């Protein structure tokens, strides 16, 4: 192991982490550091795995496995991260300030445990060492491999309900540090601007050209194309997910609730027996339905949603009410389902941006290695995106099937909630 990775982790942070486990009398005897992800490194942070040899207070020697999240070192990645602000500091506030309060309301939440969290680094338990694993190994695994199963999805919504319920009775905008809620990560932050630019790119280089092919010589398509190019497309999506006491509970939502940000423990038959949520850098205060539509529109296809969606929302409502355990139940299924249906518009907008990238492998980050500057030199990639997407639509059966389902579905949702 070269020293360059080892130098990226401060020994003082490692010492603080192991002391959180063993107490103040333990000592570090040595440590090693390597890349932390078995598949793809994160886009907005560098993930490292630290193996620490510890002398415990009773004189024994133990090895501790830790995950370290810190700012990336690759210049191109750093430049991209600047669009999001200091997400390490934001996630640090979540772990150091928000999570302890949540756990006062509901102990043993299904959230990765952080041992050290400040503005420069987060050191967490190593879930892989504890038997948890990411189900998809890449973005393409989600779309092309169809990794989501009903048992996985049901466990996800039940565990998500536990987190949401733990936050439901708190006035977060009043009790949290002002720097956490002074901007909304989906409504008025740098992250919003970055996503809006990315959405516009996907719409004009992938979605609209394919839409024209699907609806060749259909005059009514013009109004949809005009709408996809308008600012109202995104602003209407944001309007549909901000806090609204008339659309169900306002809670702390994960904000980036997709299958890659969940880790599962499986039994011998590959059925889920436990799970943890990771990556809380864009946690926000908003409608509970936000996480649900985001999850089901990024991690599942139309066929899966049509088959299981209502059962999953019912499982969420039941778990939420059971967790709060108040009479009468806070959530009524019929009312919550109506709110979910209204939030579906946000789901299709997110899907129009993200789904193409789950299939266009030319833009996939390298698997099993560190991101390099070459990956972020995207001018040629972006210029070639229309041709790449057009070729994929003609030659890639799975991509064509996904677009042939997603685009008409998105148009139907927009027709119902915008043009009706």
Span 224-235, average pLDDT: 93
Higher model confidence: residue 299 or residue 87?
299
Q: Three-state DSSP class for 65?
A: strand
Mean per-residue pLDDT of the chain: 88
Question: Residue 183: what pLDDT?
Answer: 66
pLDDT tens per residue, range 114-166:
999 998 899 999 999 999 999 988 888 888 877 899 999 999 999 999 999 99
Tell me: pLDDT of 197 over 90. no
DSSP state of 365: P
Model confidence at 247, in pLDDT bands (50, 70, 90)?
confident
Q: Three-state DSSP class for 111?
A: strand
Q: Are 156 and 317 in contact (CB under 8 A)?
A: no
1-5, 220-224, 308-312, 399-403: least confident range: 1-5
Instruction: Specify the residue for token string 């939502």.
Output: 253
Which positions ≥6 away from 257 have C-beta within 8 Å?
160, 277, 291, 292, 294, 295
pLDDT tens per residue, range 363-413:
666 665 566 766 666 656 677 889 999 999 999 999 999 999 999 999 999
- What is the pTM (predicted TM-score) of this model? 0.92
Question: Residue 1: what pLDDT?
Answer: 36
Q: What percent of the chain has pLDDT over 70?
A: 88
DSSP state of 83: G
Instruction: Specify the residue for token string 């989600």.
Output: 142
Taking only Cα atoms into account, the Rg of the chain, rounded to an integer number of angstroms, comes to: 22
Tell me: pLDDT of 293 over 90. yes
Q: Are 189 and 90 in contact (CB under 8 A)?
A: no
Tell me: pLDDT of 270 over 70. yes
Instruction: Specify the residue for token string 């833009």.
Output: 363
Q: Which candidate, 109, 5, 107, 94, places its Cα nearest to that of 47?
A: 5
Other CB atoms within a 10 A radius of the CB of residue 79 amount to 12
Distance CA 207, CA 386 (A): 10
Measured over the CA atoms of residue 362, residue 368, residue 373 and residue 376, the dihedral's sign is positive
10-24, 177-191, 290-304: least confident range: 177-191
Distance CA 118, CA 77 (A): 21
Higher model confidence: residue 373 or residue 285?
285
Higher model confidence: residue 220 or residue 173?
220
* Alpha helix (H) residue ranges in 110-249: 139-143, 150-167, 172-175, 178-181, 190-202, 208-214, 221-228, 232-239
What are the beta bridge partners of residue 263?
276
DSSP state of 295: H
Higher model confidence: residue 249 or residue 312?
312
Question: Residue 194: what pLDDT?
Answer: 78
Measured over the CA atoms of residue 38, residue 42, residue 46 and residue 49, the dihedral's sign is negative
End-to-end C-alpha distance for the chain, whole angstroms: 61
């Amino acid at each position: 192991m070269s020293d360059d990775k080892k130098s990226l982790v401060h020994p003082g942070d490692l010492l603080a982490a192991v002391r959180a486990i063993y107490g103040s009398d333990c000592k570090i005897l040595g440590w090693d550091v390597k890349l932390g992800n078995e598949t793809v490194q994160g886009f907005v942070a560098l993930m490292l795995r630290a193996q620490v040899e510890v002398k415990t207070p009773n004189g024994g020697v133990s090895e501790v496995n830790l995950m370290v999240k810190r700012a990336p070192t690759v210049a191109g990645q750093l430049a991209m991260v600047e669009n999001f602000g200091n997400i390490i500091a934001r996630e640090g506030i979540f772990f150091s300030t928000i999570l302890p309060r949540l756990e006062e309301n509901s102990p043993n939440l299904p959230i990765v445990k952080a041992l050290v969290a400040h503005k420069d680094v987060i050191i967490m338990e190593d879930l892989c060492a504890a038997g948890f694993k990411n189900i998809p190994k890449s973005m393409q695994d989600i779309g092309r491999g169809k990794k989501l199963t009903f048992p996985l999805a049901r466990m996800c919504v039940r565990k998500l309900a536990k987190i949401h319920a733990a936050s439901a009775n708190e006035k977060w905008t009043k009790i949290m540090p002002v720097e956490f809620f002074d901007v909304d990560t989906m409504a008025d932050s740098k992250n919003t601007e970055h996503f809006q630019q990315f959405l516009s790119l996907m719409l004009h280089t992938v979605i609209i050209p394919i839409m024209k092919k699907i609806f060749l010589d259909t005059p009514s398509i013009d109004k949809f194309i005009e709408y996809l190019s308008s600012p109202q497309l995104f602003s209407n999506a944001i309007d549909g997910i901000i806090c609204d006491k008339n659309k169900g509970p306002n809670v702390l939502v994960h904000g980036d609730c997709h299958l890659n940000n969940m880790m599962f423990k499986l039994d011998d038959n590959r059925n889920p027996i436990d799970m943890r949520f990771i990556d809380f850098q864009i946690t926000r205060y908003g409608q509970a339905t936000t996480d649900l539509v985001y999850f089901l529109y990024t991690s599942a296809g139309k066929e899966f949603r049509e088959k299981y969606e209502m059962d999953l929302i019912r499982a969420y409502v039941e778990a939420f009410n059971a967790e709060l355990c108040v009479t009468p139940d806070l959530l009524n299924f019929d009312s919550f389902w109506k709110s979910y249906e209204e939030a579906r518009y946000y789901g299709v907008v997110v899907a129009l941006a993200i789904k193409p990238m789950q299939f266009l492998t030319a833009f996939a980050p390298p698997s099993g290695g560190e991101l390099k500057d070459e990956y972020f030199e995207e001018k040629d990639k972006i210029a070639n995106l229309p041709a790449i997407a057009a070729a994929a639509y003609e030659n890639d059966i799975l991509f064509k099937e996904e677009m042939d389902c997603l685009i008409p579905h998105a148009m139907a949702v927009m027709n119902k909630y915008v043009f009706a």
